Amino acid sequence: MTVDVCGNGAAWDAFAAGAAGAANYHRWIWKEAIEATFGHRGYYLAASEGGAIRGVLPLFLIRSRLFGSFLVSVPFFSYGGILAASAGARAALEDAAIELARELGARHIELRGGERAASGWTGAAEKVVMEVDLSAGADALWQRLSSRLRNKVRHAENRGFRVQWGGAADVAAFYPVFAGNMRNLGTPVYPRAWFENLCRVDPEGTRIVTVWDGGRAIAGAFLCEFGRNMEAPWIASLPEGRKDYSSVLLYWSFLQYAASRGCSRFDLGRCTPNGGTYSFKKLWGCIETPLRWHYWLAPGREVPRLRPENTKFHVAIQVWKHLPLFVANLLGPRIVRSLP
């Protein structure tokens, strides 16, 4: 068994397509999007035996003046980690990742998902994944919703909100909503180029849905489709539309759309248990699963907590919420590249 940095995207995707536990973000295309947007170098490790790939691990090196250097699989998404056809391939990839981390001076390795790593790795499950079962179709889902939630959908429809579907061209409408929402949350925003690059590398699998009040977009979601699953990694809304349930209409619209596409599951993304976002997602009858990430730590290091819930960031978050939007949009992309 040998492990090398893979340069053959077709061979990589051929293995990942048939591997148990493969996520959308194990595909080679995301390497291009992350490198092009943030400049983080991807080390796509492949374990081979007899000339055939037996396991893969996509890793990205992130260098930060604030947080040092670390490796992540896969940054900016919820899923990644090792795909392996055998215990030997998994062990070889774990060893190779640790060796790479030491060579690069990385403080830690973060594997987002996958099976439990070997001894010497630390597991954590601070977040949960919220998924909606769509296997019975949109009509069945509608009947499962509470009458109160259905009435909110009807209220938003009667209010005259318009739902628009699109692709890369709709980044222009989605991004101001997303940027405003992130500033209001006190979180640095991704650059607009991130969403443009995602649409460019996967035009068939990405969709953007926006909710409009007259000539202004007030809510939106960025969707990724993979197999029979659809995911909304980024959902945003502006305060002025929420009293008329623009967010409720947005959720119902993309769930209904996913069901019409034959998707059996909709992933509403990760969130913190018992938080506000968590409570809202629970209304849709979600299946809740702990999101397990695994860490290798350099000597003397602790599991990183680069999350808004970390009390160390409370003052910065409050300050960020009060920045002028143009300032937040200017500074955010420079900061968020180090907060994957």
User: By percentage, how much of the chain surpasses pLDDT 70?
Assistant: 96
Q: Does residue 312 carry a pLDDT above 70? A: no
313-325, pLDDT tens digit by residue? 678 889 989 999 9
Q: Does the pLDDT at position 308 exceed 70?
A: no
- pTM of the full predicted structure? 0.93
Per-residue model confidence (pLDDT) at position 297 = 94
Burial class (CB in 10 A: 0-12, 13-18, 19+), 33: buried
Is-contact 54 47, C-beta < 8 A? yes
What pLDDT score was predicted for residue 310? 61
Q: What is the mean pLDDT of residues 169-176?
A: 98
Sign of dihedral through CA atoms 165, 333, 232, 22? positive
* Rounded-to-integer distance, Cα 296 and Cα 96, Å: 12
Give tens-digit pLDDT for 211-234.
999 999 999 999 999 999 999 999
Dump pLDDT digits (tens) for 1-44.
Answer: 999 999 999 999 999 999 999 999 999 999 999 999 999 999 99
